[in-house]
Amino acid sequence: MRSTVFLAMTLATLTAKEPKIQYPDSKPGDTIDLLHGIHVPDPYRWLEDLNSEDTSKWVKAQNTVTESYLTKIPGRGPLEKHLTKLWNVERFGVPFLEGGRYFFTKNDGLQNQSVLYSTTSLESKPTVLLDPNTFSADGTVALSDYEVSPDGKQIAYSTSASGSDWIEWKVREIETGNDLPDHLLWSKFSGASWSKDGKGFYYGRFPTPKKGQKMTAQNIHKKIYHHTLGTSQDQDRLVYERPEHPKQGLYAWVSEDGNYLLIQVSRGTDTKNGLFYKDLSKPDSEVVELLPNFDASYDFVSSLGSTFLIRTDLGAPKQKVISIELNKPEPSNWKTIIPESPETLRSVSHIGGILIANYLKDARTEIRRFGLDGTQLPPVKLPGLGTASGFGGKSGQNETFFYFTSFTTPGAVYRYDVKSNTPVLFKSPKTQFRPKNYQSKQIFATSKDGTKVPMFVVHKKGLKLDGNNPTLLYAYGGFNISLRPSYSPATIAWLDMGGVYVMANLRGGGEYGEDWHEAGMKLKKQNVFDDFIACAEHLIAKNYTSSSKLAIAGGSNGGLLVGACMVQRPELYGACLPAVGVMDMLRFHKFTIGWAWQAEYGKPDDASDFKNLLRYSPYHNLKPTNYPATMVITSDHDDRVVPSHSFKFAAALQAAQKGTAPSLIRIESKAGHGAGTPTSKRIEAIVDKYSFLSKTLGFEIKL
């Protein structure tokens, strides 16, 4: 390992002599749109054509510039070695029982994709059922989803290539490990749910996109089909569609008893949804629109004969559980089973004859238990303060499993006995990580309007509050998504570099219920940016860090967050890492599933929403000034937030940058929005990000 003195000298030399970066010519065009009476320039519209030769050349040239910059940064070798060591730990997924067999995933450590195993007994040696590492030579084809038939004889599984949201369904015999001829295409945002007889399954799919539009065309006209084993896809039976509502999402699954097909109907990403059902016990029964008003969120929990248990936020922003008798479905007959609590109810499962409810208290998990009549039972005692997930299974099973983790607790799997209310450690990673060397705590910043915003702060013990600590502030702030404490090798590597890691729980998320979510959406989106800015200012005021040592990061909606905040307050940060972000708020609805986000952001075609979107759209608000060091991050196969968002933003940023700080874009090949990314690519990406931060924030990589 190079000496600290040598590293410091090398870093100083590079900083002093480094020439100004020569960016590729992005050739601004003269496209100007007249929108609601306002002329809006869009000089980099040509970068929306992902199939053009000009875009391909631009991507290659940008990656060449970025690679040249990153590879010269000292300390990358030791960082990659340290990350690889942290990652090289056996990891287990949460087991589940179906058809008399247990199923779980395991990663030996550095496998690009986790492997699905099956066994008839947890004490027996498991067998490999699906190994995604054999699907492709480079690990870029991932196992997306899977569902075991009720008799445990077959498994329907889907794969995605290069990180795309498009999935292909196949069926494998569990006993032999052989694939059946069944092969289904053009499915997206869908699981598979077997019919009670195990002869087929329900799934959702879209029309076949036109040639050349697979990665960009709008995803509309989704339909629910039933596939019978041994038949071709063109013979699949259409079960349900809503042709008069082409932009409504349909998600279908079969109830545990096999008697009902539940159909959840969504309007974009709006949390308010419809819930319909079809009685499968009656041939040719019609779909019943049980909850058709889209006046609240309705999540099916379980069926007790002809009674449905539903989790909802109707009149209860932090959620409650109600029962609806199908023979008397009028709201006046509904009964409250679990009333609303001061804490946010995030999920409920029906296991072993009781209801197990997962709550969030200041973004930390609490697990409570209830009888089917709502009687409160003793809670589940968790191993500590952190995040618990799982508790799946069947209503008649007495055992289930859950996963527990925190920032300083490597994820472990626990086996839980329902009757005795006893969790027992089942699998834990054998790691050299020492939790006692680190500490985490929760602090609160005060936003512009006085709202208290929580943050988790994690660092090595003995941290000096001298304002000189490199700090990485991460957040999301949208779509009712809750950020919760979890262990990550990437986070630990940052702490080992001497950094402080901060995760903020902004408005727009779901940490404090639907009111918290709605306070950060549509016309109130600026609250999210104000929250993030307040968190940054608080960290500086409390001497955790300083502007020159502070980096902000986020992905997807979090990429929008970083882009908007760096445009609004460029002097507040030393570095910015917007990843796969929604950067053009006037055209996001024109590609793939982007139309669905109008429920969260507002409609660019509506005059009042348009003005609000234009006010904060990162791409449209760049102007000539000194921007902080920035590395935009995207992938060439991202068909959720299409990469043209990042392409256009990076081109505009390079043109607007008046300072000397780098304005780079890193474009990953054969990768998508994040899901299914191979381990090797994850490590490479983190090495690049942390190297970039070490140089731009001015600290050495010492490991």
Per-residue model confidence as pLDDT tens digits over 320-358: 999 999 999 999 999 999 999 999 999 999 999 999 999
Residue 18: its pLDDT value, please?
62
Note whether 350 and 344 are within 8 A (CB).
no
The predicted model scores a pTM of 0.92
* Domain 21-85+441-696 bears CATH identifier 3.40.50.300: no
Residue 670: its pLDDT value, please?
74
What span, in angstroms and rounded, lies between the C-alpha atoms of 167 and 205?
Answer: 10
Per-residue model confidence as pLDDT tens digits over 354-388: 999 999 999 999 999 999 999 999 999 999 999 99
Per-residue model confidence as pLDDT tens digits over 46-58: 999 999 999 999 9
Residue 442: its pLDDT value, please?
96
What span, in angstroms and rounded, lies between the C-alpha atoms of 68 and 594?
Answer: 33
What span, in angstroms and rounded, lies between the C-alpha atoms of 697 and 574?
Answer: 6
Where the chain has pLDDT below 70, the residues are 1-18, 672, 674
- Strand 629-635 and strand 154-161: the pairing is unpaired
Residue 452: its pLDDT value, please?
98
Per-residue model confidence as pLDDT tens digits over 97-131: 999 999 999 999 999 999 999 999 999 999 999 99
Residue 162: its pLDDT value, please?
86
What span, in angstroms and rounded, lies between the C-alpha atoms of 594 and 264?
Answer: 20
Residue 433: its pLDDT value, please?
84
What span, in angstroms and rounded, lies between the C-alpha atoms of 472 and 296?
Answer: 36
Terminal CA-to-CA distance of the chain, rounded, Å?
Answer: 9
> ∠ CA(12), CA(17), CA(22), 5° rounding?
125
What 3-state DSSP class applies to 318?
coil
List all residues 6 or more positions away from 97 whose beta carbon is below 8 Å from its beta carbon: 103, 393, 394, 397, 399
Q: Whole-number mean pLDDT of the chain?
A: 94
- Tell which CATH architecture fits domain 90-254: 7 Propeller (2.130)
DSSP track, 428-466: -------GGGEEEEEEEEE-TTS-EEEEEEEEETT---S
Contacts 24+ apart (CB under 8 A), 85-91: 86/431, 86/433, 86/489, 86/492, 86/493, 87/489, 87/679, 87/682, 87/683, 89/410, 89/429, 89/430, 89/431, 89/489, 90/429, 90/430, 91/411, 91/429
What span, in angstroms and rounded, lies between the C-alpha atoms of 261 and 284?
Answer: 13
Burial of 286 from C-beta contacts in 10 A (0-12 / 13-18 / 19+): exposed
- Which helix (DSSP H) or strand (DSSP E) does residue 695 occupy? helix 679-696
List all residues 6 or more positions away from 9 whose beta carbon is below 8 Å from its beta carbon: none
Q: What sections of 470-606 are H helices per DSSP? A: 489-496, 514-518, 526-541, 557-568, 598-601
Residue 1: its pLDDT value, please?
32
Quickly count: other Cβ atoms within 10 Å of residue 436's Cβ.
7
Query: Order of strands, edge to edge, in the sheet holding 320-325?
Result: 298-304, 307-312, 320-325, 335-338
Query: Order of strands, edge to edge, in the sheet holding 273-279?
Result: 248-254, 260-267, 273-279, 287-291
What span, in angstroms and rounded, lies between the C-alpha atoms of 596 and 602?
Answer: 10
What span, in angstroms and rounded, lies between the C-alpha atoms of 332 and 336?
Answer: 11
Q: Which sequence positions are flagged as catalytic?
A: 556, 673
Residue 121: its pLDDT value, please?
94
